[in-house]
Amino acid sequence: MQESQETHISNHLDEIVAAVSITPRKKLQNKLPQTALFQPPREKLHLCEEKAKSYSSSHEYKQALQELVRCVALTRICYGDSHWKLAEAHVNLAQGYLQLKGLSLQAKQHAEKAKEILTNSIVHPYNDNTDVFKCSVELFHTMGRALLSLQKFKEASENLTKAERLSKELLQCGRIIKEEWIEIQTQIKLSFAQVYQGQKKSKEALPHYQEALEYIEISKGEKSLECVPTLRELAGVEQALGFHNASINHLLQGSPTPGAQTGTSLGPVRNGAAQQEAHLIVLSRNPSQEEAAVSAHSVACAAVASGRPEHHDVAEQYFQDSMANLKDAEGIGKAKFLSIQDDYCHFLQVTGQKERATSILRESLEAKVAVFGDLSPEVAETYRLLGGADLAQGNQSGAHKKLKKCLQIQTLLYGPQDKRTLATQQTMDVLSKAPEKGVKPRQPPRPKAAFCAGGPQHTMLGKARPNAAD
């Protein structure tokens, strides 16, 4: 018996060390007092749970994950290997993994461990414990999300259905209140919508997005920032289904949406207002310049996606608003500005303003080299577009020079067999065989300053001064 107890203690030794350790590898500013080392495990567990929530709410997901790992170890110490609270800790850890991109498999594994524990826990005295069933709802929902991230749509849908059915039974039995059920339904409906959207089934995704949005508006309010992500996902479904006209009409009118006042079922007109609603909500909360720019950019893209000439003024207005917010930005903000500017140039090209688009692209080249580097996809794409513009104007010499620079970058970035590289090479092959029309080079070729076909002898970031007029 004594040997068994010693073995049990030995098995948990590493977990105990990890759980009670309060000095992470990187020193934190809010360092805990030394007395925290001697806290009882349950107090330490509560502290770790609170820290995990705090980190998660401030989007510091890696730090939150570390605390959730400690929570699993401490829960095992406090409650043992077969308690439903350990299953809950594994579910929370699975959710933590889902917040970090590329860790869905780990989330699935912890959800499976939680399921194994719960299966053994639903016996006396837990078979009448509401917390066990609420944990089961979270488990099925989390498993569904993990499977969704792994693109296992059928299994994801099955788990979400179990979560939905069990939560409804808990409501009917009075185990949870209506407000709590609405919170659960919001997440389940949103996950169902994402399952359908992941399969390109926009028509089936639409009603689930609608219901999720309704639940958020009921629980958080129609002007809550929590509506914005769902509104934007809803807008993507609208565009896929062709509800552009209603969207832009409401965008222009700025009027309240039908259905919100009358209580009628949501239709295409209500759907179309999603981008507008999201933008108005963002603007009402004193956003940062970058947040306002991103929101205006979304509206501009929705106007462009309509393909209707009467919406061009709306797109122009919101592109200008978006770029104005980021015009003097640095770092990430500058990169975002250049990305939005490229979208604006594309809009100008499709609306017949090709000279204006080319002028903006030419002026942006130096800034792109400074921000992204001379060997970057952004610079390659700009050379490609400028080469195409020269070709359209009959300037084959200028087109050849720019496309050659584009090809050099693409070859280094993607390799000679990538479809982008091959497409550029094909254009240059056709160009080299075509007779020169109109413009002929009047000056001898300049030496290559930024790029060399013999090797990656590119200049330092920002040192080159690309001349788009070449």
Instruction: Give per-residue pLDDT as tens, 388-428.
Output: 999 888 889 999 999 999 999 999 999 999 999 999 999 99
Q: How far apart are CA 248 and CA 243, in angstroms?
A: 9
What pLDDT shows up at residue 22?
39
Helix (H) or strand (E) holding 62, with range, is: helix 61-79
Q: Are the beta carbons of 166 and 197 closer than 8 angstroms?
A: no
Q: What is the pLDDT of residues 247-303, one digit of tens each?
A: 544 333 333 333 333 333 333 334 345 666 677 777 777 788 888 888 888 888 888
Question: Domain residues of the chain, as ranges?
Answer: 1-79, 369-470
Residue 461 burial (CB count, 10 A): 14
pTM above 0.85, yes or no: no
Residue 151 burial (CB count, 10 A): 11
Residue 192 contacts by C-beta under 8 Å, 6 or more apart in sequence? 157, 160, 208
Q: How far apart are CA 196 and CA 203, in angstroms?
A: 8
Residue 191 has pLDDT above 90, yes or no: yes
Phi, psi of 260 (to 5 degrees): -65, -35
Helix (H) or strand (E) holding 401, with range, is: helix 396-414
With cut-offs at 50, 70 and 90, classify the pLDDT of residue 102: confident
Residue 68 contacts by C-beta under 8 Å, 6 or more apart in sequence? 48, 52, 89, 92, 93, 96
Q: What is the pLDDT of residues 438-468, one digit of tens each?
A: 333 333 333 333 333 333 333 333 334 455 4
What pLDDT shows up at residue 420?
94
Find tokens 């106007």 and name the residue: 303
Sign of CA dihedral 243, 148, 227, 218: positive
- The letter for the amino acid at 273 is A
| Structure tokens belonging to residue 329 | 């930005």
Angle, CA of 185, 255 and 236, to the nearest 5°: 50
Residue 336 contacts by C-beta under 8 Å, 6 or more apart in sequence? 290, 293, 294, 326, 329
